[in-house]
Amino acid sequence: MTGDHTAGETGEQIRAIFDRARPRGAYHDILQTLAEGVTEVAGFAVAAISVLRRSGDFEVVAVAGDAGARDQLMGNFTPRAEIEAELAQADDWGALRFVPHSRLPEGITPGWVPDLEPVEDDPDAWHPLDLLMAPLRDEHGDVVGLLSVDLPASGRRPDAAQRACLTDYAERSGRALAQALQQRELSEGVRLAAAARQIVRRASAQLDVEGILAHCATEVVTGFQALGMWLQVFDEQGLGPSTLHSRDGTIVDLPRRLKRFAESAARAAWEQHQVAVSAHGRRNPGLLPDDEHREVLDFLGSIGVRSMVLVPLGAGSLCLGSLVLTRGPDAPPWSDIELATAQEMGHDLGRALSNARLLEREKRLAENFRDLAAYRSQLVDTLAHELKTPVTSIVGHLELLVDELLSGEHAETSPAQVSLRAMERGTRRLLGVLDDLLSLARTSDPTTIHVAQPVDLVSVVDRAVDAVGYSARRKSVRIVVETGSSPVMVTGDPDALERCCVNLLGNAVKYSPRDSAVSIVLHERPREIELSISDEGLGISEEDQERLFTEFFRSTNPTALQQPGTGLGLVIVERTVARHGGRIEVDSQLGKGSTFRVILPRP
Ligand code: ADP
């Protein structure tokens, strides 16, 4: 206090300052107003307010009075233990603590020393190394910060009036600081929770790692009021994608060395369950050796970054990457709530990353299977093609021989003639197998492109009935067709659908007794068309029905096995129907007969 003020005037002044600081101004404005207030009323040229952080450090958040002091002190962190060591040496002036320069603990130098000539022979003269502080307490008496003053206008250690004024000021400041902190936590909590929710939601919707990177950059940077962010992902090979996104959209490429440093720091941070704040003037958080830590800070300094937070990303015991948030020199320091939210987000983003990675792995596996299936189909296709030409030629020549040698008066049954007929039947079956293999390869190759066109199922059925007509007549099996005369249209491949129809009708005839009936019916429903083929034949046991659509499956029924077949026909039908967006169903009773129903979507 200067001599021009009475105690009453000073009280008024203090109240006015607190009124100015109270309105819902930004947190830093409030603290700045408080710091400046001390310099106005208490007769000290410099005042600083520090806040006690959850980490146990006191951080200088407001400095008033001297630009040089401000530059040197703002943002400085001092461990609580160091402050306590100073306070232990202090004279107890009620709410105030005074440490004369002579008692300053070993190794401690104040953050700022005024440019003042010490006066040696006057015990009441202010010494440049004297410390005057007041712990700031909330309404419960807990320390929330620290008020320090320096450079008295009088050049002397404070008198009783000045001490009373400072005491009053410190008491009010403590409560104001606690309130400002609470308000800030509350509003920050709400803001950050909303931002983090949005970020994680966006990231979780991404199926690949690159997508997560690209999508969360803007939200993270704005949500955390950061200058930029650097997201790095570790993959099986080591370092995965890594980019530094800045607020204005520029992307900075980082030196490889730095990425390595960040990786080992992130792994250590994940193990220790912590987020780490690094900045010039702050202690190395201990995740990296001092020289590497300095190198990272120097690089970031060269692109305008003053402080950063390293957030490890992970799931379970695995550290999957890191997120670095940066701030420039004029930005506020990272608040406890921001750090807690960032840590939480590291877990959520880690989970999103781990899911994306699993999905990527599954996609790769599916692609491998697809390649394998395509290779197998192509192999079968090539082999069947190569075999088909000579077999067709053999069948042709055998038919010619049978026609010439076994017709008319030569139709006897000498052993050579029987062999010739057997050879013809055998090669015809071989041709049938090759045709089935070719159809199977074509329906199963995932890389085949199928062009769909309008198909009339009535004419498909007619052509299929024609195709099996000969075998049906030989067994006196009647084919009853119920299709109506108007076209029934679907979209698809006419040849493939005809092959399905021939297969099902052929089976119905093949596995039916002589003199029975096979019916083929087309039903039109609002959304679907059903083609059903019923017979009065052998029927299929429930056990066999389960495996009907597996490649090369043939019945366990000995009577059915007497009929030639490959066990591929139904597989081809099922795959073709599935490719047309339809399904196949079977109803069968052993000894009674079977009904196969093909259901296709209406166009
Ligand atoms: P294939 O008839 O060439 O053996 P499929 O795939 O067409 O091969 O049929 C597989 C098996 O299903 C047949 O071996 C047969 O035992 C049984 N099957 C198919 N259709 C019928 C049917 N309509 N009646 C009785 N059994 C049938």
Q: What CA–CA distance (Å, rounded) separates 566 from 230? A: 61
pLDDT of residue 474: 93
Extended beta strands in 420-535, E state = 453-456, 478-482, 489-492, 517-524, 528-535
**Ligand 1: which residue has its CA nearest to atom 20?**
507
In the prediction, which pLDDT does 20 show? 57
Closest by CA to 596, choosing from 568, 578, 573, is: 573
- Residue 74: left (phi > 0), alpha (psi -120 to 50), or beta? beta
Candidates 562, 565, 573, 552; CA nearest to 432 is 565
Ligand 1 nearest atom to the CA of residue 565, by list position: 3
Rounded (10°) angle between helices 256-271 and 290-302: 120
Pocket test for ligand 1, best of 507, 540, 543 (most atoms within 8 A of CB): 507
The H-assigned helical ranges of 224-289 are 256-271
Question: H or E segment at 183?
Answer: helix 160-204
- Sequence-ordered strand ranges (E) for 142-184: 143-152
Low-confidence ranges of the chain (pLDDT < 50): 1-5, 23-24
Q: Where are the alpha helices (DSSP H) in 533-584?
A: 542-547, 558-561, 569-579
540 lines ligand 1 (CB under 6 A): yes
Cβ pair 402, 424 in contact under 8 A: yes
Residue-level pLDDT at 498: 94
Distance 507 CA to ligand 1 centre (A): 6
* Among 542, 546, 570, residue to substitute to test ligand 1 (most atoms within 8 Å of Cβ): 570
pLDDT score at 538? 95
Q: What is the pLDDT of residue 23?
A: 43
Count of C-beta atoms within a 10 Å radius of residue 90:
16
Which distant-in-sequence residues (6+ apart) come within 8 Å of 231 by Cβ?
A: 213, 216, 217, 220, 242, 243, 245, 321, 322, 323, 324
Residue 593 in contact with ligand 1 by CB distance below 6 A: no
566 lines ligand 1 (CB under 6 A): yes
* Nearest protein CA to atom 2 of ligand 1, as residue: 565
Q: Which of 240, 237, 250 is nearest to 212 (CA)?
A: 240
Tell me, what's the pLDDT at 433? Answer: 87
**Which of these, 345, 271, 337, lies nearest to 54 by C-alpha position?**
337
Whether the Cβ atoms of residue 456 and residue 488 lie closer than 8 Å to each other: yes
Output the CA 582–ligand 1 centroid distance in Å.
20
Q: What is the DSSP letter of 562?
A: T
pTM for the whole structure = 0.47
pLDDT at 479: 96
Contacts of range 72-77, beta carbons closer than 8 Å, 24 or more positions apart: 72/111, 72/112, 73/48, 73/111, 73/112, 75/279, 75/281, 75/282, 75/306, 75/307, 75/333, 76/111, 76/281, 76/282, 77/53, 77/281, 77/282, 77/283
Tell me the pLDDT tens digit for each residue of 143-186. 999 999 999 988 999 988 889 989 988 888 888 888 888 777 76
Q: 535 CB under 6 A from ligand 1? A: yes
Q: What is the pLDDT of residues 492-519, one digit of tens each?
A: 999 999 999 999 999 999 999 999 999 9
Query: How close is the Cα of 487 to the center of ligand 1, in Å?
Result: 29
Handedness of CA 252, 256, 260, 265 (dihedral sign): negative
Q: Return the ligand 1 atom nearest residue 533 CA.
A: 23
Please state whether 277 falls in left (phi above 0), alpha (psi between -120 and 50) or beta. Answer: beta
The finding on whether 553 has its CB within 6 A of some atom of ligand 1 is yes
Q: How far is the CA of 554 from the centre of ligand 1 (A)?
A: 7
Q: Ligand 1 pocket check: which of 443, 500, 511 to mutate, most ligand atoms within 8 Å of Cβ?
A: 511
Count of CB atoms situated within 10 Å of the CB of 325: 28
Give the per-residue pLDDT at 292: 92
